[in-house]
A and B are shown apart, each in its own frame.
Chain A
């Protein structure tokens, strides 16, 4: 090796080392909740940051999955029903690689008794994206600077649109499902998911299970009622998968009558996701299931959990305010009101000028 090539290699290593060091320092300095108003932090970061802010060791159940899980499970409703504490640690379109780190990060300050995994995440499959995720998720986990990089936007934004209640956002939109009544007999053609669990997802599930087993967390896999995402092939595949992995599986698609689910009222987008009505029924079912089958404590009345009662009041107030509206509607209404007030004021000022 020549002297110049040795010098080049040293330079390359030095450059990479400095980059790494700078990332480590920037990540260590990245403290989202210290720097920013929590309400301004939106999307995925909002759930993670809120999770980090929960008092240590107070959550009984983690609910993990994609938008099916976050739309169909309201922790505030479970608190109202049974007094169990839960948190939605999933996110829209989450994939297993991200799900693993969501569990790891959520467990930094918590030791829940149960981890509920909504099964659609296990069916998600796109080779390219999965490989990208496999590479990027450890980086986002190691370097908070990368994970929260978008947080600077909070400095220039006026306010957040969404309000998160332990990972749940309210959606009261009603858009009925008018397809086949027995949707489990239909075919599903989704290029981004399979009808069975891919080897990569199965491996990542094993990783999550090992992590949970080591901490005494029991995993329960469940399928949220969804006419657009489930059929018998998927339900059977998941039942078989859960059996192989030695975990409990609950399919709510087969229990819609028992739950009293009304597809004309309980879905917000034509049978894909639950709305608040649907989420209440899902939570009611789970509340009973947890009470009858699991070993959880009712924390209602415990002063250590009084923040849940306070949040429930805020949650109910918002539910009432949002009747028939979305967060965006409320935000737009507010902006238009501000606009009208501002320009009425300016018009008045201009008119005064003219009079003068």
Chain B
């Protein structure tokens, strides 16, 4: 039961809302947890046990860390001098590190087994085949949302280890945080303090939240059903038959897929955040007008923000402050100077982040390449930054000039479209084939001469008009006009008029109906 289906929107969600409201305040978290597991079972059946086991394991590791911390404090209290206290701390620190390692390794181990083991076996078999032997592939069932809830669980354990907040004593509370039904499929990846309070508070439903949640949900449906789902027919065809196309069609495929992915992912996140809001739970935002970014680095601060924040908090920063990087920084500064020390430090911290970002999306060389693509671009950006500033000054250019901003945005678009071309290609080889075929036989006129008959003129109209509407709303937000806020603060007749306009636009122009194959959420497969 995906979050965009009528079963979810017209039956599941209203029933959970009613039961939640009727339940006593203290039991409401239980209603949310039961609903979350019920939804999970509808996708992954008995694999809900793995989710439950992950919750219990994460909870146990948190308590273990807490217990070690308390024992350490108790023993320190018995100490008479600072040296003794420090030695006690060191002794207990080893235990804390052990608990952290056990927690992280087990959680990532399960993720590795489910997502990557067969990929590794496949690649090993290429070499083993030459020796006349093969490793058998492992039969694995994919538990829905494992990439999302595993990162949340690892983040929780790391935060408890760093004593950012105490471990959760209540198993149900942590289980609800990891399984909350709107976000289990596609995120956003939350940190424990972001949502746990509101999830457990059991506040009654109120009109302000219902309005905000409802508007967010229908806006998300508009993005997905009017634009993204229609585009998917075109992109599936072009990427699936890439050998038949070149030049302008490949460019079209890259642009169309990027728009499809953005509107689908941001649309479903709107539905997720809207669903959470109905219950008074504010989930973290995942997008902030990514196509207004003036650089690849800024793009990633605006795109899939919860994943970016996770890698920043749990990979980038810990590596940056690790003894190895600190030592390098110190040595390199003396040997090669400030500039190269900075470039080297960035490379050392960015490399694992982008390997992880790439493979997080899936087991495949194209995903690894996707990660490395951004690693190279971002590192190049870091290396060029001082040179760029000098050049601006030398040429007397204002870096904030409007035309320069537009140029930078266009350059970023080219980077994004190219990245998504490889991301969605059948495989890495196909990605390169598509990329190089752009430069051969490029004729814009081919687009209308050989337009594939997979989407009709009507679809193209819906896609263009829908995209323009979404772009206008994003453009206004980027320039400080909060359209959503204005609608929510408007008087009821105006507010409802907008609701009806969106609802009937979806009902009339949305891709749905009998015989229509619903388009699965792209990120739900990661």
Contacts and interface: CB of A to CB of B under 8 A. Distances in A.
Interface of A: 8, 11-12, 15, 18-19, 22-23, 26, 43-44, 91-93, 98, 128, 131-133, 135-137, 139-140, 145-147, 149-150, 152-158, 161, 328, 331-332, 336, 339
B445 to A, nearest CB: 9
Interface stretch (B157-165, B172-180, B377-385, B509-517): B509-517
A156 B458 CA distance: 6
Given A137-B514, A147-B513, A131 B7 contact: yes
A332 B449 CA distance: 10
A157 B458 contact: yes
Contacts of A161: 453
B492 A132 contact: no
Contacts of A23: 507
A153 B514 contact: no
Secondary structure dominating the interface of A: helix
A339 B449 contact: yes
Interface string B489-518: 000100010011001100111101111000
A332 B6 contact: no
A337 B1 CA distance: 47
Contacts of B313: none
A152 B508 contact: yes
Contact of B6 (A15, A22, A136): A136
Contacts of B206: 8
A40 to B, nearest CB: 10
Contact of B453 (A18, A146, A152, A331): A331
A19 B500 contact: yes
A301 to B, nearest CB: 38
A19 B503 contact: yes
Given A128-B1, A149-B508, A22 B457 contact: no
A66 B500 CA distance: 36
A140 B513 contact: yes
Contacts of B503: 19
Nearest to B506: A149
Contact of B461 (A26, A147, A156): A156
Contacts of B210: 8, 12
A248 B393 CA distance: 89
Nearest to B8: A132
Most buried by A among B11, B206, B496, B513: B513
A158 B457 contact: yes
B184 to A, nearest CB: 16
A114 B106 CA distance: 63
Contacts of A43: 515
A157 B462 CA distance: 12
Given A132-B7, A140-B513, A153-B458, 8 more contacts: A15-B496, A22-B500, A135-B6, A149-B509, A152-B458, A156-B457, A157-B458, A328-B453
A155 B457 CA distance: 10
Contacts of A331: 453
Nearest to A328: B453
A67 to B, nearest CB: 11
A153 B459 contact: yes
Contacts of A137: 514
B453 A132 contact: no
Given A22-B500, A91-B514, A140-B514, A157 B11 contact: no
Nearest to A148: B513
Contacts of B512: 149
A8 B6 contact: no
B456 A149 contact: no
10 contacts: A44-B515, A128-B1, A132-B7, A135-B10, A137-B514, A145-B507, A146-B507, A149-B513, A328-B453, A332-B453
A147 B513 CA distance: 7
A152 B456 CA distance: 12
Most buried by B among A15, A131, A139, A150: A150
Nearest to A137: B514
B391 interface: no
A90 to B, nearest CB: 11
Contacts of B509: 149, 152
A-B pairs, 5 with minimum CB distance: A153-B458, A8-B207, A44-B515, A156-B458, A156-B457
